[in-house]
Structure formats: structure tokens, C-alpha cells
Amino acid sequence: MTFHVLISDPLSEEGLKPLQEAENIEVVINPGWNEQELSDQIDSFDAILVRSQTQVTRALIEKASNLKIIGRAGVGVDNIDLEAATENGVIVVNAPNGNTNSAAEHTMAMIMALSRNIPQAYHALKQKQWDRKRFVGVELKQKTLGIVGLGRIGAEVAARAKGQRMNVIAYDPFFTEEKAEQMGVQYGTLEDVLRAGDFITVHTPLLKETKHLINKDAFDLMKDGVQIVNCARGGIIDEDALYDAIQSGKVAGAALDVFEQEPFTEHKLLTLPEVVATPHLGASTVEAQEVVAIDVSHDVLRFSQGEAVRNPVNMPSVPSEIMYKIEPYFHLAEKLGTFITDLTKEVVSEVKITYAGDLADIEIAPLTRNAVKGLLKRYLGSRINDVNALFLADRKGIEVSESKTSSKKGFTNLITIEVSGKFGTRKVAGTLLNGLGPRLVRVDEYRVDITPEGHMVVIQHRDQPGVIGRMGSTIAKHDINIATMQVDRSDIGGDAIMILTIDRHLADEALNEIESLDEIKSVTAIDL
């Protein structure tokens, strides 16, 4: 089947080659559609690749019934409605490393442009003014650079600033003092950084928590004559507060690559001579554009071939060496989830998944997602996948918990799913047998040994002579062949279970007939 990919923003041609050269992938490059045209066409695509221009909104995602993956050739994903993507099972991938150097270099260029008034002096000279007095700058050496956000770009900026013999102080709530010290960076609170910086540069993502992080109160804490840089995201700095702080003389200069609303042609900050600006060029280098396009193309290619992606944004990323170990269990986890949903036939309110034996030593979160995907797919159909499984379970009020135990319980590995609801509590367990694939080994307290595949019938009955024969002849009457049969009982003459694998689905008529037999307590058809 052909996998249709839309490239809706300009991306490096070289970087798109992995997709263009792949078999079974059809790529539509930059058709120049407006918002309405994009919305009309999006339905025919499995993947969309964007930079920061295309707004991948909830409305667009909800129209895109075939969309499976959104690739962002860059870091920031604030032009993508992540919640809508997750809810609709659309995986979002980005290219977090490819433009780090370019953005850090651009930040340094902005700091230097500010410190030596380069754009203003250039502009004056172009206006035929040879004015040396107006453009006296300051040295960076021994000035303090305050960095807010010491991630990939913040750290690269710190290293470059140290090369300029600046003192660097940084704040990042997800960074340790020890790590900062190893980088030769002083670690401080946000307030310490705001108070100390001669130059302050922000390098956080735009989040609820970072929106207007640099606001009037923050400017009030800063040194008089501070210079501000934003090459991260518009909105981290409150533009109105920045305008006022420049007007009042508190802020001597600001260098901005990003803005609250982009693109624009009129902006009040650009009327101020103290403001230096570029139109979101931090990642615009030949090198960065090639690498981000290659990275994101490879992830989309991997996804189209059913492989794990490297840079997922809306689900945890699992390193390939770990993925290699857990992948064989995906199928088992999903089948157990589907089996127990079919068995209970009712909505569950709680799911407890236990991983035993060898599984106690490996990353289990992807297995839980697969188990919950299997569990919910009967209610939610084909749009459930491992991207949205936990999100949708939560939204349906289903409490999911996972635990590990090293106790082997007779198996080298064992996944047990216990579900509770109005029906009570039920349990299934399965194992991966070396060389033989997945096996269903427990249903409630009964022991069985069945490949969880194809058509099955689970019959709960009383342990009495003749039940098995009557069951066999009833099923045969409906012209259905029994492939395997497993029986277990609690005690002689007590409750028992019979699980048949059969060659085709057991229709309602046959089910009703079996259910009407005296010894039968329940009968359930399961199609895995």
C-alpha cells in the first residue's frame, strides 16, 4: 500500500531524499495550498511534514482521517495541537538535534549585534550617516550572560559565551547544580539569573509555565541597561512589558528572532531603535535545514515501515537497544488486552498489569500501552493505537496501573492483566515461549495453554460427564471445525472452563444454542 506524505512547508530537498527514494511512498512537495485547500486535501495523506509555518490545528487533525504521523523539521512543536494529535492517535515526531548549533550561533550573533550596535550602525551608514559616537558598544568579556533554559541550545550558548570570556549564570528547573558546574556555569534561581545578567537570553520551550516568564516583574528585577535576547519562542517574553521596559530605559536593547504572532509586517517593537530583529532565522542555515529534514524524513520512513520512531514527541521515546528486547512482547500484551475485553464483554473501570520474571528487568511502559490498546480497541475501533491508548483510557475513566515482580511463577516471563468493573474481577495471563511465540496460560484461576490467535470460544461450565461431547456435536452441527481444545476445572464436579480454537467465527445462533445447555454458565466467542 502506498504511504502518502505531504510536505507543506519548504524543507531541504536533500533532506527529503530518504522519503523520495523509498518504495511505496508518494511525496507531494509544497503544493502551496492555503488553509482551506490544505483542509480539503489533508484526508488523503498518511503523513504531513512541517516547519513552523503550517498550523496543524485540532480542526485539521480531525479532518485528517488517514493521518498517522506529523513530522516537525525542527524542535518547537507549538504550531501543532499535540493534544488533538494524541487524542486522535497521530504520532508527532520532531528533529530535536539538527538545528541546535545554528540556533546557538544565531543567539551569539544577536548578542554581538546588540553589544556593538551592528544593525543600527549599518542602517545609519546605508542612510549616508558616518556616526561613530552614537554607536559605542560594550565588550562581552567579563560581562555576565544569564541563561534561562539550559537545554540543548542553552548549553551550546553557554559554551560559546565562555569562549567570549563571559561569566555565565543559568536557571533551569530540570538541571542540577552539579551538571551546571561541570559545564563551568554558575547555577542560580530565576531571580538570581535575572538580577545578575548584563545580557539575558531565554532558551525554554513555550509552555503554559513559560508563557510571559519574562514579564514586568522580571524586568523590574534586572540590572538597569540590561540587554535581552529571544531566539527561542515568541511569548516567553511579554512583548508589551518589553516595550515599556525599553521605553523607560530599564532595558538598553533587545534582540528578537521570534515573536508572539508570526509572520507579521508591522510590529510596535520594531519601531524602537534599541530593537534588533530577524524573522525567525535561528534554524535557517543550509546545514541545519538539511539535517532536520533528513532526521524527520527517516522517522517518517521508519514509521511507514512499521519500525519504532526515534524522536516521538507525544509518547515516550524508547532507545533501540531496549526496544529490541521488548518488541517480541508487544503482540502478546495486545492480544491479552483484547482477550480479556471480549471475555468480560463489559466496560472496565480498572486495569492492573503485572510483569513477572525476565520482564521485571526491562522497560514495560510500551507493553502497557499495547495491552491497553488491545483492551480498548473493541470500544474505540481502529483509531486507537499506542499513541493515544493511555490518554483515551484516562479520558474514559479507566484507571491503569502496572507493576513488576521478579517472581517467575513457573514461567520465565509472564504478563498478567486483571480487570475490574461492575462484573467483578477477571484475569488473564500470557507468556512468550522461547521459539514458540505467545501463549495464553491462565484465564482467571484456570491453567490453559493456547496460542492467542484467531477464533475462539470460552465456555464456563460445570464439570460433568458428557459436556464436552455435547459441546462438540453442537459446534459440529454448525459446520465449524474445532482445531484445539483446553479444559481445566477448579475441582471434580465443580466449576470448569473449556477453551476451543475453531476455524471460523462462532455465530450468535450457535452461541445461544450452547448457552441453553444445562451445564453451561457462560459462553463467549472471541476473535483475536
Ligand X SMILES: O=C(O)CC[C@@H](O)C(=O)O
Ligand Y SMILES: NC(=O)c1ccc[n+]([C@@H]2O[C@H](COP(=O)([O-])OP(=O)(O)OC[C@H]3O[C@@H](n4cnc5c(N)ncnc54)[C@H](O)[C@@H]3O)[C@@H](O)[C@H]2O)c1
List, in order, residues 6 or more apart from 238 with CB less than 8 Å away.
Answer: 212, 214, 215, 216
Measured CA to CA, the distance from residue 504 to residue 52 in angstroms comes to 51
The catalytically annotated residue of 260, 262, 515, 519 is 262
* Cα distance between residue 48 and residue 41, in whole Å: 11
Identity at 348, one-letter amino acid code: V
Q: Which lies closer to ligand Y via its Cβ, residue 212 or residue 325?
A: 212
Q: Residue 455 corresponds to which cell in the numbers above?
A: 477464533
Instruction: Give min distance, CB of 123 to ligand X, in A.
Output: 25
- Cα distance between residue 274 and residue 225, in whole Å: 11
Distance CA 216, CA 219 (A): 5
Question: Binding to ligand X by residue 15, rule CB under 6 A?
Answer: no
75 makes contact with ligand X (CB under 6 A): yes
99 vs 344, which CB is nearer to ligand X?
A: 99
Quote the CA–CA distance of 176 and 174 in Å, as a whole number: 7
What whole-number distance in Å separates Cα of residue 459 and Cα of residue 501?
11
* Listed residue (312, 310, 313, 294) closest to 302, CA to CA: 310
399 labelled catalytic: no
Q: Which of 20, 284, 317, 474 binds ligand X (CB under 6 A)?
A: 284
Whether 439 is a known active-site residue: answer no
Q: Which residue do the cell numbers 531603535 mark?
A: 273
Estimate the share of the chain in helix, then strand, then coil, as percent rounded to the nearest 5.
Answer: 35, 25, 40
Q: Is the dihedral of CA 177, 179, 182, 186 positive or negative?
A: negative
Q: How far is the CB of 209 from ligand Y (least distance, A)?
A: 5
* Choice among 72, 203, 233, 298 that is catalytic: 233
Q: Could you tell which of ligand X, ligand Y, none binds residue 215, using a CB distance below 5 to 8 A set by kind?
A: none
Angstrom distance (rounded) from CA 76 to CA 81 = 12
Residues in the site for ligand Y, rule: CB under 6 A?
Answer: 74-76, 96, 99-100, 103, 148-154, 171-174, 203-206, 209-210, 231-233, 257-258, 280, 282-283
Residue with the three cell numbers 542612510: 127
The interface with ligand X within residues 34-73 (CB under 6 A) comprises 51-52
The CB-of-257 to ligand X minimum distance in angstroms stands at 8
Scanning 74-82, 193-201, 206-214, 489-497 for contacts with ligand X by CB under 6 A, the matching segment is 74-82
Out of 8, 54, 88, 99, which residue is the one contacting ligand X (CB under 6 A)? 99
Residue 497, contacted partner among ligand Y, ligand X, none, CB below 5-8 A by kind: none
Sheet holding 482-489, edge to edge: 482-489, 495-502, 455-462, 520-527
Peptide bond into 263 cis (omega under 30): yes
Check 72, 106, 160, 280 and give the catalytic one.
280
Q: Which residue's beta carbon is nearest to the bound ligand X?
A: 74
| Distance of closest approach, residue 113 Cβ to ligand Y, in angstroms | 15
Which of ligand X, ligand Y, none binds 96 (CB below 5-8 Å, type-dependent)? Answer: ligand Y
Contact between 337 and 373 under an 8 Å Cβ cutoff? The reply is yes
Tell me which of ligand Y, ligand X, none is bound by residue 71, counting a contact when its beta carbon lies within the kind-specific cut-off of 5 to 8 angstroms. Answer: none
Question: Is residue 504 annotated as a catalytic residue, yes or no?
Answer: no
Start-to-end C-alpha separation, the chain = 23
Figure out which of the listed residues 15, 18, 74, 149 binds ligand X, where binding follows CB under 6 A.
74
Q: Does 76 bind ligand X (CB under 6 A)?
A: yes
**Judged by CB, which is closer to ligand X: 93, or 526?**
93
* Beta carbon nearer to ligand X, 52 or 144: 52
Give the shortest CB-458-to-ligand X separation in angstroms.
52
Residues that bind ligand X (CB under 6 A): 51-52, 74-76, 99, 280, 282-284
**Catalytic positions:** 233, 262, 280
